[in-house]
Structure 1
Amino acid sequence: MTKNVLVIGLGLIGGSVALALQKAPQVKVIGYDAFIQTRAMAKTLQVVHEVVDDPKLAAEKADFIIFGTPVNATLDWMDKMQTWTLKSTVIVTDTGSTKSLIMEKAKELQAKGITFIGGHPMAGSHKSGITAAKPHLFENAYYMLTPHAEELEENIEKLETLLKYTHGKLVRVNAQEHDHMTAVVSHFPHIVAASLVHQLYQENAQFPMTSSIAAGGFRDITRIASSNPLLWRDITVQNREELIGQLEQWLKEMDAVKDLLQEGDVALIEQYFAMAKEVRDELPISAGAFYTSFDLYVDVPDYPGVISEITGYLAEDNISITNIRIVEAREDLFGILVISFQNEDDRERAVKCIARKANFETYIS
């Protein structure tokens, strides 16, 4: 029997989920978006099997409902859903990046007999909107599920059976654990990155060349500060309690570093950096919560046509690139040319391609 999956919100995340689920057997993916232009695009690009103008009517026949909307919008939809006529067996989930508020609201649905299991596919892109949606966006990325403790195992397994077609790594945690962990590895680092950029901006007023030489480590550590401000405004507000706790820990750490510098003990300073290096080097290389660029640094000689030469070699091997740039200030960088790829596999293929056809040295930062 065909299962109907209604995806509400057809941007990058919702659209990518819809495309991935089209690979599931005996599944019909129905889509809705609040913007009529997005609905038209979804139909043209065949992001879903069917586009509807009224999600309430489509929800009546749905076996699964997936909210691909920002958390605040999802909370509004969950309010509306309480008046909808739904199948008694329907399973509802979301894709929001914070879970505590969502799962608290889910108790209201639970009281009405509606099964809600929170979800967060921890992948993204530097692009947004339905045109950036890809069926493989979540491959090998963690896909977090946050069911209530009393949720029936049967319902969780049904959702996992559907979501396995995203090829994400499905894991279960509770909402509080999720929000704490994502605060540590994703949300708080965005605040740190933004603060470093603010500091650069202030310094640049007195030393105008500062931003011109900001490459290497500074560019790497602040890359995520280029993310959508509205998205991060909402995430910061929604997860502010966890972020305040992280900020307090960070301030204590910075006080400790300040003491370390004032003491000037070279052995302790070296030990501080050595420990950081050891922990950092042991981190797994995998898709994170948001867009990760897979950069390849190429040490090329400066002669006319060298960039088109390299991109031509990559094109011959059907290797797609997402960005290419030349860096002038190359402190702790090994190559003048930086090529970004969508995934690690493409980058590895590029390394072999360039070594075989151009014999230029390549480096991974």
Structure 2
Amino acid sequence: MKGTVVIVGLGLIGGSIALSIKAKHKEAHIIGIDVSLSTLEKGLALGIIDEIGESIVVDAPKADLLIFCCPVKETEELVKHLPGLNLKKQVIITDTGSTKQTVMRAAESLAEKSITFIGGHPMAGSHKSGVTAAKRLLFENAYYLLTAGTDDASKRLPELKEWLSGTNAKFLILTPREHDQITGMLSHLPHIVAAALVQETERFTAQHPDAFSLAAGGFRDITRVASSDPRMWTDISISNRDILKEQLTSWRDRMSEAIQLIDQSDDDAIFDFFDRAKEFRDSLPIHRGAIPAFYDLFVDVPDYPGVISEVTAILAQEKISLTNLKILETREDINGILQITFQNEADRLRAKKSIELKAAYTCYVEE
């Protein structure tokens, strides 16, 4: 496709979308807008954008596709200014925010002027941030959720999908409320639960200091989403507050039921509680979902000097990049575990094969 694409917010998401568009649509001209001039200069130098924009007022009227890749609240405020600009009649406006109902309401003023707005949410991320971390295939095989608020917008969904086809993502159409309910349950609620569990553990370790050293392995894994950006999650929690209140209330009820089961020492009911959870958890698909996946490989390693260097040397020989590496010093019933995190499933499988072949160490994946 040929045309001008204006991307507002040139971070990891905005930069990755720009790269995917450039790869698929060679004739597209991409303008970047960001509060940071240095970010825009880096984006230009890296070939992620073709031009540094001045402002929405100046550059939005040039756009055939306008993409907001900034926090939800910021997007809502910026969208409110668009009806007063001399936008192209056929422009498509979209966003990448984690909630959809509030931004779709903010975009109603655009629909009144027959301007197309389609909400978007690419469900992928990275351990890194900023434009220098942008990757063309960041969204490959991830779900890219779209919400169209009007019939006219729905008719232009194929056009937007074509613009974004270079992402190699799986597009899924939802209503704004469906989107917020699903992401609330599968992403937002788990982050809140993880943060609450970490805070409760912090309180507990103040009374039992040895617990701090023991809070490794599995505990770190089930709570690692609590390390996410607190400013972003403040924004998400407020913009999706009504649905999150409903879901947190339901969660509180589940915890009350668990307390009652334990209090009553009902063996069958407690077994059923865990068994039903296991059955459903084991049935879940393995592909990328609401929370960005962590591609961990666990390696049984002997306890001698240089073993970590041996493993990393194998990865270097195979040109396999890792994103994190740690030794699980405390792991129930298992000792000598090296946990390596990769960017994607392909790297993890290559690493497993190489380490098992060259070092004869047992490697396994926990699902």
Separation of aligned partners in 2, 1:60 and 1:333: 61
Assess, with a 3 A threshold, how the Cα gap between structure 1 residues 153 and 246 changes in structure 2: closer, same or farther: closer
Aligned residues of 1:217 and 1:332 also touching (Cα < 8 A): no
Aligned residues of 1:297 and 1:334 also touching (Cα < 8 A): no
Aligned residues of 2:302 and 2:336 also touching (Cα < 8 A): no
| Offset, 1:334 | 6.7
Separation of aligned partners in 1, 2:204 and 2:82: 50
Which residue in the other structure is 1:8 paired with?
8
| Offset, 1:76 | 1.5
Separation of aligned partners in 1, 2:231 and 2:334: 32
Which residue in the other structure is 2:264 paired with?
263
| Offset, 1:152 | 4.4
Separation of aligned partners in 1, 2:301 and 2:41: 45
Which residue in the other structure is 1:132 paired with?
133
Q: Does 1:186 align with 2:187?
A: yes
Separation of aligned partners in 2, 1:152 and 1:8: 21
Q: Which amino acid aligns with 1:59?
A: A
Separation of aligned partners in 1, 2:187 and 2:335: 27
Q: How does 1:203-352 map to 2 (within 5 A)?
A: 203-331=204-332, 335-352=336-353
Which residue in the other structure is 2:18 paired with?
18
Assess, with a 3 A threshold, how the Cα gap between structure 1 residues 28 and 290 changes in structure 2: closer, same or farther: farther
Residue deviations 1:192-221 (CA, integer Å, cap 9, x gap): 000110111011111001121112321111
Aligned residues of 2:148 and 2:154 also touching (Cα < 8 A): no
Which residue in the other structure is 1:108 paired with?
109
Which deviates more from structure 2 when the two are superposed, residues 152-161 or residues 91-100? 152-161
Structure 2 unaligned residues grouped into runs of 5+: none
Separation of aligned partners in 1, 2:356 and 2:17: 36
| Offset, 1:69 | 0.8
Separation of aligned partners in 1, 2:51 and 2:59: 10
Which residue in the other structure is 1:118 paired with?
119
Separation of aligned partners in 2, 1:133 and 1:11: 7
Separation of aligned partners in 2, 1:35 and 1:28: 20
Separation of aligned partners in 2, 1:97 and 1:53: 26
Q: Secondary structure at the match of 2:31?
A: strand
Q: How does 1:41-60 map to 2 (within 5 A)?
A: 41-60=42-61
Q: Which amino acid aligns with 1:18?
A: A
Assess, with a 3 A threshold, how the Cα gap between structure 1 residues 334 and 188 changes in structure 2: closer, same or farther: farther
Assess, with a 3 A threshold, how the Cα gap between structure 1 residues 12 and 275 changes in structure 2: closer, same or farther: same
Q: Which amino acid aligns with 1:41?
A: K
Assess, with a 3 A threshold, how the Cα gap between structure 1 residues 86 and 212 changes in structure 2: closer, same or farther: same
Separation of aligned partners in 1, 2:14 and 2:287: 22
Q: Secondary structure at the match of 2:286?
A: coil
Assess, with a 3 A threshold, how the Cα gap between structure 1 residues 80 and 341 changes in structure 2: closer, same or farther: same
Aligned residues of 2:147 and 2:175 also touching (Cα < 8 A): yes
| Offset, 1:116 | 0.3
Residue deviations 1:121-143 (CA, integer Å, cap 9, x gap): 01111222112211111111100
| Offset, 1:153 | 4.1
Q: Which amino acid aligns with 1:194?
A: A
| Offset, 1:287 | 2.0
| Offset, 1:149 | 4.1
Deviation above 6 Å: which 4+ runs of structure 1? Answer: none
Q: Secondary structure at the match of 1:22?
A: helix
Which deviates more from structure 2 when the two are superposed, residues 141-150 or residues 323-332? 323-332
Which deviates more from structure 2 when the two are superposed, residues 50-59 or residues 254-263? 50-59
Q: Secondary structure at the match of 1:235?
A: helix
Separation of aligned partners in 2, 1:199 and 1:241: 24
Aligned residues of 1:335 and 1:363 also touching (Cα < 8 A): no
Assess, with a 3 A threshold, how the Cα gap between structure 1 residues 334 and 176 changes in structure 2: closer, same or farther: farther
Q: Secondary structure at the match of 1:6?
A: strand
TM-score, normalising length: structure 1: 0.96
Q: CA RMSD in A?
A: 1.4
Residue deviations 1:8-44 (CA, integer Å, cap 9, x gap): 1101111111111111233222211121111111112
Which deviates more from structure 2 when the two are superposed, residues 93-102 or residues 292-301? 292-301
Assess, with a 3 A threshold, how the Cα gap between structure 1 residues 47 and 289 changes in structure 2: closer, same or farther: farther
Assess, with a 3 A threshold, how the Cα gap between structure 1 residues 333 and 104 changes in structure 2: closer, same or farther: farther
Separation of aligned partners in 1, 2:118 and 2:148: 5
Q: Which amino acid aligns with 1:54?
A: S
Q: Which amino acid aligns with 2:308?
A: I
Assess, with a 3 A threshold, how the Cα gap between structure 1 residues 208 and 22 changes in structure 2: closer, same or farther: same
| Offset, 1:91 | 0.4
Separation of aligned partners in 2, 1:73 and 1:286: 31
